């Protein structure tokens, strides 16, 4: 008869007691909970940082766009004006007179300054579309029925980089810019400071996903 | 049974804490490093934007006022910002008072229908050192501007003060050599230095040129007297 006696070592394996199992589960749960809370807070913070970065990038972009345009075309004077539309809303527009226009010769391709063409540009914040526009005065209408640029998409200076990472996941980017020239007691100046306070947020204007952020910038010219 | 349910020993507890820490510390430090790198990137972006603005805005200051800072015989007035033996000046926020507060009549644009107010050199200077981009500005210890000639003699280059930061010195050393008969100085160089990360000593340096804007022979280096 074959001896089927189990090896001595195996007979000692009794498995975990219920107490040991409970301890293992509770310790394991504690570790997992700790890791999960860290992971969750990391993801939450990452989301906030991504949105803040996106808003900051937008603030940098608008500020630098204006700055470069103003410097490139040599602003000669600045004027502030209020235009009241038919709804009684006051549009503050900044009128910037440039020293010259930059033109390129079709024949030689050479770029030069044309001092005979002193363009006037207008910086306008449309409170309906919440967008910023900067374009030549010829394209701007001060008619109370339709204050603004005739072809707005050509002169919009914000939200031009919608594909910039991180993607805003289809959320709309809201602008509430407060832009004003700093004048020394007058509404016109030959050299001035532009103060910009951009209130940017994601989501619907009345219910933003995150608190709107305020970005203050100055341009001296 | 009593012995087996005696709980974890101190060694076991330490072992658990050690293992948990080994996992968590690299995770957390990586996490914090990402934030720091992101923050530093924004600081650098703000520094670059402000440096560009400041050079452009310095060009709006009356050139003769900047010329005086480098070359005026009134050494007492400008002593604080000049360096010995080489025509180099360092400007910070507090030095704006050296520039005139009043606006010269010549600065007004005459062909406009109404009087247009021009900002004085001192005001522009103060606005420059208060430049802000997306809420970030740099204080007196972080933001400084160096003015020096468009061309310099070999002797002037050899006398560059050691008080000037090495990064700025290396920029000044690149200035082309000035010939003896070349005295007209209708342009000068400007270097903006912004320390955007004082902890690590990271700084942003940007060079530019300021011109008088006139084709005149108004700006000459004062001739040295024989005695």
ipTM metric = 0.74
- Residue B195: which residues within 8 A CB-CB, separation 6 or more? B138, B141, B142, B143, B201, B202, B203
Residue in chain B closest to A67 (alpha carbons) equals B53
Could you report the per-residue pLDDT of B135-193, keeping only the tens digit for each?
899 999 999 999 999 888 888 888 888 899 999 999 999 988 887 666 667 789 999 99
Instruction: For Cα atoms B60, B65, B68, give the angle at the middle one, nearest 5 degrees.
Output: 145
Q: How far apart are CA B116 and CA A191, in angstroms?
A: 9
Range of the domain at A108: 24-220
Please indicate if any CB of chain A lies within 8 Å of the CB of B221.
no
Q: How far is A122 from chain B (nearest CA, A)?
A: 18
Residue of B nearest to A193 (CA): B127
**Number of independent structural domains in chain A:** 1
Q: What is the DSSP string of B144-168?
A: EEEEEESSB-HHHHHT--TTS-HHH
Mutation site, B3, B17, B117, B125, interface A, largest A CB count within 10 A? B117
d(CA B31, CA A44): 13
Output the pTM of the full model: 0.76
With respect to residue A51, please indicate whether it lies within any of the assigned structural domains.
yes
Other CB atoms within a 10 A radius of the CB of residue B131 amount to 24
Asked whether residue A19 is assigned to any structural domain, the reply reads no
CA distance A128 to B73: 59
**Residue of chain A whose alpha carbon sits nearest to that of B137:** A217
User: Cα separation of B171 and B149, whole Å?
Assistant: 12
A186 belongs to a structural domain: yes
Q: What is chain A's pLDDT, residue by residue, as a tens digit (221 residues)?
A: 555 555 555 555 566 778 878 888 888 888 889 888 888 888 888 878 877 887 888 888 888 888 887 777 777 777 778 888 888 888 878 888 887 777 888 888 787 778 788 888 888 877 777 678 888 888 998 888 888 888 877 887 765 443 333 344 444 555 555 655 555 444 555 667 777 777 777 665 566 566 777 888 888 87
* Within-domain flag for A4: no
pLDDT in tens, B202-222: 999 999 998 876 555 555 555
A3, part of any domain? no
Asked if the Cβ–Cβ distance from B127 to A193 is below 8 Å, we say yes
> Residue for token digits 């507090």?
B94
Distance CA A55, CA A61 (A): 10
DSSP H helices in chain A:
8-11, 18-72, 152-155
pLDDT > 50? residue B1: no
For residue A193, tell me if it sits in a domain. Answer: yes
Confidence of residue B102 (pLDDT cuts 50, 70, 90): low
Query: Cis peptide before A166, with omega less than 30 degrees from 0?
Result: yes
A35 domain residue, yes or no: yes
Tokens 């080994």, residue located: B22
């Amino acid at each position: 008869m074959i001896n089927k006696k189990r090896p001595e070592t195996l007979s000692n394996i009794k498995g975990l007691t219920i107490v040991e199992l409970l301890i293992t589960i509770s310790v394991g749960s504690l570790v997992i909970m700790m890791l999960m809370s860290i992971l969750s807070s990391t993801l939450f913070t990452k989301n906030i940082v991504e949105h803040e970065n996106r808003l900051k990038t937008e603030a940098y972009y608008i500020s630098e766009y204006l700055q470069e345009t103003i410097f490139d075309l040599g602003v000669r004077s600045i004027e502030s004006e209020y235009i009241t539309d038919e709804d009684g809303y006051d549009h503050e527009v900044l009128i910037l007179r440039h020293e010259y226009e930059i033109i390129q010769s079709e024949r030689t391709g050479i770029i030069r300054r044309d001092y005979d063409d002193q363009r006037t540009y207008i910086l306008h914040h449309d409170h309906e579309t919440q967008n910023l526009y900067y374009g030549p005065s010829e394209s701007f209408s001060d008619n109370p029925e339709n204050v603004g640029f005739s072809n707005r998409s050509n002169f919009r200076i914000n939200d031009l980089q919608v594909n910039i990472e991180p993607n805003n996941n289809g959320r709309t980017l809201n602008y509430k810019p407060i832009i004003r020239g700093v004048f020394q007691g007058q509404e016109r100046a030959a050299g001035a400071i532009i103060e910009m306070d951009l209130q940017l947020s994601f989501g619907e204007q009345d219910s933003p996903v995150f608190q709107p952020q305020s970005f203050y910038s100055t341009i001296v010219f | 049974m009593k012995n087996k349910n005696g709980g974890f020993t101190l060694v076991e507890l330490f072992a658990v804490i050690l293992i948990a820490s080994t996992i968590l510390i690299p995770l957390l430090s990586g996490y914090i490093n990402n934030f720091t790198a992101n923050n530093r990137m924004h600081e650098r972006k703000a520094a670059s934007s402000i440096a560009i603005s400041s050079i452009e805005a310095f060009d709006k200051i009356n050139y003769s006022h900047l010329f005086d800072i480098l070359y005026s015989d009134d050494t007492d007035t400008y002593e604080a910002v000049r360096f010995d033996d080489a025509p180099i000046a360092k400007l910070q926020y507090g030095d704006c008072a050296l520039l005139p507060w009043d606006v010269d009549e010549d600065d007004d644009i005459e062909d406009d229908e109404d009087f247009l107010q021009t900002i004085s050199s001192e005001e522009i200077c103060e606005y420059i050192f208060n430049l802000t981009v997306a809420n970030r500005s740099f204080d007196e210890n972080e933001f400084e501007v160096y003015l020096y000639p468009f061309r310099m003699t070999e002797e002037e280059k050899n006398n560059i003060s050691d008080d000037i930061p090495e990064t700025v010195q290396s920029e000044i050393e690149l200035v082309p050599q000035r010939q003896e008969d070349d005295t007209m100085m209708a342009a000068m160089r400007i270097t903006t230095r912004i320390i955007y990360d004082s902890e690590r000593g990271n700084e942003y340096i940007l060079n530019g040129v300021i011109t008088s804007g006139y084709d005149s022979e108004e700006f000459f280096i004062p001739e040295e007297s024989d005695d």
